[in-house]
Each structure stands twice: as structure tokens, then as C-alpha cells.
Amino acid sequence: MDRRSFLKATLAGSAFALAPRLSLAKSGDGVFELEAAKGQARLYGDQGALSDLWLYNGQVPGPEIRVKQGERVKVRFTNKLDEATSVHWHGIRIDNAMDGVAGLTQPPVEPGQTFDYDFIAPDAGTFWYHAHNMSWNQVPRGLSGPLIVEEDEHFFAPETDIILALNDWRLDEDGALETANFGAMMDFSHAGRLGNWLTINGQSMPDIPLQNGRWHRLRLINTSASRILDIAPSRFGAKLIGLDAQCFGEARDVDGTIQLSPAQRIDLVMRPEQTGTIPFETMTGQPFVFANFQVTEASNPDAPLKIPSPNQLPEPDLKSARTLPLVMEGGAMGGMRSLMKDGKALDMRQMMETGVFWAFNGVAGMEDTPMFSAKGGETIVLETRNDTAFAHAMHIHGHHFRVFERNGEKLKHPDWRDTFTTVPRETVKIAFVADNPGKWLIHCHMLGHAASGMMTWFEVS
């Protein structure tokens, strides 16, 4: 089954649905109520079968949580699933106790239990939240949602501030979520669980309403477990203003494509010049349309473009930095013969038997001691090398970092990120100020890779 035949069927069959305005989870007392439970939705248009999913507040994606920069965010979370879970606020420079990593920063939230999350969102931008216990299983069943932190000043009217939560699903012939192969070793040891169908805000081939002659902000969030999407903003007339929640303070033209890896966000601005349809494509392989912008006459006059200014992040001091290696190894065709797991050497056969395929610096998975400890305020440079045959989306919790060098070349734009992509044989250098006390994860956001070895942690005192 390929996406193209799915798409043809959809085009022939049904009228397009409008991309929904995502609903807010906020209750009267300013506390967001968030509940994880089993639910169902049609992922493959109207003719597709119902999928059995795990959802926040019964929706795909979970409800939009929208707060102001510097605001205290309170979320009363209830777990109505059959297994333990937790909620991680991806990209927020958060108080460690609220980071939502089951087993590291909090006990897992058991079935029937609640947990009160309570934190400050220091940076404005486009974030998301997702399950962080058995993530390889819980996230691709539907447990994720958008988290928007607004700038003090309101730059875009609600109808021009558009969230596009992109998700890659593996569907069976009926168009329902395929569940038999969750956790397949074949996926873990290769590119992760890749899907065959893309949705935007939970919908197949939606129309995304835009208004002619008005500036829009598009917030793209890749909530996929493993799928890298390649986006070419210039093909639909958009410019780049930020990555992973951090705005540059300018609008950039992009030549070619930008990779939108699992967990990454891209913020764009766009002002359509005429009414009509503009296809929204991914560019991996050949252009593949998975939604259409439908531009109609404007309901309100345009306001001049105002671009949010950058958040104030602590600037790394490269001169005093401590440089640490982070070598990614393992996986199929990676040539790794053994790795360390829980203090024991595993050979290839044992790796296969235990489902451990990947390592950082020769060590798979979480150990009792951190990969490194940093003094509060210390600049850390990670010199990463991808010695595997696959791309990875490396995420650091609790901090943003500058990606400043690739393959020995200083980058023109050493942008802030919380997740960076690295392709085979690449070296990437990143720098950050370890200023947030606590225990923080470093892992691949291809969730099967994280589950089978690509996960470690560091500590900031």
C-alpha cells in the first residue's frame, strides 16, 4: 500500500474537510484539564475505518494549550489508559521536576492517577507536548498536542495564526492504524516506525483556509515517530521566521528545502497574493501534496508584518567551553559489533535478542551515572558524529543549543534548536549553556531508536 494510491482514492471520493480550529483545554479556574484515554478517529478520510488510538481529551492531535510568555502553566493531567504514562513539554526550558520524564524526573503516572504540572514558560514560540513513557508506543498511537506560547504583543489575529501538526501514520488496508507491528525490531534497527499516510491536525488532505493579502503565521510541528519531512517554503510563497520555537527576528527566504524532523518545528510567514488553491507538499523524493491552502477574500484588512523578536537565551561562550564527544553508532548496516548495556558487553547476537541496537559513545541506553555533569552556567560543546547508516533527530531536554558547525564548516546561521538532524557520516557541533539544574535527557527523537539504545542523560548542578 503506498501513499499515492491512498491519495488518489481520497481525491476521487470525498469533499475536503476544513482544517479545524483546535480547541483549547482551559477550564474556568485557569487550569488546563488534560486526560489520556483510549479513543477512536478516522485517519484516512471519511471512507477509512476507525482507528483505535490513545488520545488527549479524545482528539487528534490533543487540544491546543495556549499561554502567554512568562505565564504560569497549570495542567491537571489524568491517566485513563491501561498503562503508566507522563507528559513532556517539548522544548520548554522548564523546571526539571515538571519535565515529565517518567522514571527520571517523576514517577510514572499510573492508570487512574492524576499529576499536576505547574511551570513557567519562559520563551515564546511553537512547542508541543507528548507522552514520555514507552514513547515509541504511546506517541504514534496519538498522544501529542500543540503548546503555543504567545509573545507579549499579539502579532497575528487568530484566523491568521495557524497550527499545522503533521503526523505520519502506518495504516492497514482499511485505513485504520496498524497495531500488530508496534515495537518491531525491524523498525527499531532501521529508520524507526515509518508510516504510509500523513495527516495535518488529524485530518487527511485538509483544506487550510488562508485570506488573500493578509500575513499569516504558519506553525509546523512534526509529531511523527520517525518520519523526516522536507518542506520547501518558497514553493508556496512562505518565508522562515523561526525554528524549534526560537524566532530569528527576521524573515528569511529559503533556497530549496528545510528538514522537519520528528519533534522539530518550523515557523513561517506567508501572504497570499491571490485567491485560489496552493498545494502544500513534502519534498522527500518527489513533491507529494498532503494538503491545500485555500485562499479566500480577506475578512479583515491586512496589518503590516510584525515579526516576533528573539527570546533571550544564554549565549554559549565557546572560548571557555568544555567539549565532549557524542558518537552515534549501531543500527542495521552500521557495522557495530558490540556495545555496552548496563555495564555488560553485548555482541551482535545478544543485541538482536534483547532489542538493543544503538549506542552513544559505545553505551546503549540509560545508566545510573550521567554521561556528564555540568556546573550551572558552564558552556558545553557536543561534538557529534553520526557513524550509523541512518539519519537521527537529536533532542536535548531543558535547554536550547546553537548548531554552529557541520562537517568542519561554521554555519552562516548558527540557529537555536532543541532538536537537530544529523545524516550518516556527518559531524555536527552544538553549544549550550548548561544553566538549568536537574537531570536532563539527550536522545534521538526517532522514538524506536531512543527505545533501543539512543538515550542518555546529563546532570546540571
Residues that bind ligand C2O (CB under 6 A): 88, 90, 130, 132, 263, 395, 397, 441, 443, 445
Question: Can you tell me the distance from the alpha carbon of 67 to that of 117, in angstroms, rounded to the nearest whole number?
Answer: 14
Q: Is 356 in the site for Cu ion (CB under 5 A)?
A: no
Question: Can you tell me the distance from the alpha carbon of 160 to that of 68, in angstroms, rounded to the nearest whole number?
Answer: 18
If the CB atoms of residues 392 and 400 are measured against Cu ion, the closer one turns out to be: 392
If the CB atoms of residues 268 and 444 are measured against Cu ion, the closer one turns out to be: 444
CB of 449 to Cu ion, least distance (A): 3
Question: Can you tell me the distance from the alpha carbon of 188 to that of 137, in angstroms, rounded to the nearest whole number?
Answer: 12
Question: Can you tell me the distance from the alpha carbon of 107 to that of 96, in angstroms, rounded to the nearest whole number?
Answer: 13
CB of 149 to ligand C2O, least distance (A): 16
Question: Can you tell me the distance from the alpha carbon of 215 to that of 132, in angstroms, rounded to the nearest whole number?
Answer: 36
Among 270, 444, 451, 455, binds Cu ion (CB under 5 A): 444
Instruction: Please check whether residue 84 is in contact with residue 131, taking contact to mean a CB–CB distance below 8 angstroms.
Output: no
Grid cell listed for 274: 491571490
Cα–Cα distances in Å, from 132 out to 11, 46, 451? 36, 31, 11
Select from Cu ion, ligand C2O, none the partner in contact with residue 443, using the beta carbon and a kind-dependent cut-off of 5 to 8 Å.
Answer: ligand C2O
Contacts with 28 (C-beta within 8 Å, 6 or more apart), sequence order: none
If the CB atoms of residues 143 and 268 are measured against ligand C2O, the closer one turns out to be: 143
Q: Is 446 in the site for Cu ion (CB under 5 A)?
A: yes
If the CB atoms of residues 239 and 399 are measured against ligand C2O, the closer one turns out to be: 399
If the CB atoms of residues 443 and 449 are measured against ligand C2O, the closer one turns out to be: 443
Instruction: Please check whether residue 311 is in contact with residue 223, taking contact to mean a CB–CB distance below 8 angstroms.
Output: no
Kindly tell me the burial class for residue 297, based on how many C-beta atoms sit within 10 Å of its own C-beta (0-12, 13-18, 19 or more): exposed
- Closest residue to ligand C2O, Cβ-based? 90
Select from ligand C2O, Cu ion, none the partner in contact with residue 214, using the beta carbon and a kind-dependent cut-off of 5 to 8 Å.
Answer: none
Select from Cu ion, ligand C2O, none the partner in contact with residue 392, using the beta carbon and a kind-dependent cut-off of 5 to 8 Å.
Answer: Cu ion
CB of 130 to ligand C2O, least distance (A): 6
Select from Cu ion, ligand C2O, none the partner in contact with residue 446, using the beta carbon and a kind-dependent cut-off of 5 to 8 Å.
Answer: Cu ion
CB of 388 to ligand C2O, least distance (A): 19
Question: Can you tell me the distance from the alpha carbon of 157 to that of 170, in angstroms, rounded to the nearest whole number?
Answer: 35
If the CB atoms of residues 66 and 132 are measured against Cu ion, the closer one turns out to be: 132
Select from ligand C2O, Cu ion, none the partner in contact with residue 449, using the beta carbon and a kind-dependent cut-off of 5 to 8 Å.
Answer: Cu ion
Among 88, 141, 214, 449, binds Cu ion (CB under 5 A): 449
Select from ligand C2O, Cu ion, none the partner in contact with residue 227, using the beta carbon and a kind-dependent cut-off of 5 to 8 Å.
Answer: none
If the CB atoms of residues 24 and 184 are measured against Cu ion, the closer one turns out to be: 184
CA dihedral in degrees (244, 247, 250, 255; nearest 10)? Answer: 0
Question: Can you tell me the distance from the alpha carbon of 271 to that of 215, in angstroms, rounded to the nearest whole number?
Answer: 4
Helix (H/G/I), strand (E/B), else coil: 46:
coil
CB of 75 to ligand C2O, least distance (A): 16
Question: Can you tell me the distance from the alpha carbon of 356 to that of 376, in angstroms, rounded to the nearest whole number?
Answer: 33
CB of 333 to ligand C2O, least distance (A): 26
Question: Can you tell me the distance from the alpha carbon of 368 to that of 366, in angstroms, rounded to the nearest whole number?
Answer: 7
Select from Cu ion, ligand C2O, none the partner in contact with residue 88, using the beta carbon and a kind-dependent cut-off of 5 to 8 Å.
Answer: ligand C2O
CB of 455 to ligand C2O, least distance (A): 8
Select from Cu ion, ligand C2O, none the partner in contact with residue 444, using the beta carbon and a kind-dependent cut-off of 5 to 8 Å.
Answer: Cu ion
Q: Among 117, 119, 214, 202, which residue's Cα sits nearest to residue 163? A: 202
CB of 392 to Cu ion, least distance (A): 3
Site for Cu ion in 384-413 (CB under 5 A): 392
Place of cell 494538503: 291
If the CB atoms of residues 130 and 217 are measured against ligand C2O, the closer one turns out to be: 130
Question: Can you tell me the distance from the alpha carbon of 240 to that of 308, in angstroms, rounded to the nearest whole number?
Answer: 12
CB of 49 to ligand C2O, least distance (A): 29
Q: Among 356, 266, 434, 354, which residue's Cα sits nearest to residue 442? A: 434
Select from Cu ion, ligand C2O, none the partner in contact with residue 441, using the beta carbon and a kind-dependent cut-off of 5 to 8 Å.
Answer: ligand C2O
Grid cell listed for 419: 532538536
Instruction: Please check whether residue 337 is in contact with residue 347, taking contact to mean a CB–CB distance below 8 angstroms.
Output: yes
If the CB atoms of residues 392 and 395 are measured against ligand C2O, the closer one turns out to be: 395
If the CB atoms of residues 81 and 450 are measured against Cu ion, the closer one turns out to be: 450
Grid cell listed for 55: 488520545
Task: Please report, as ranges, the residues that interact with Cu ion according to CB under 5 A.
Answer: 392, 444, 446, 449
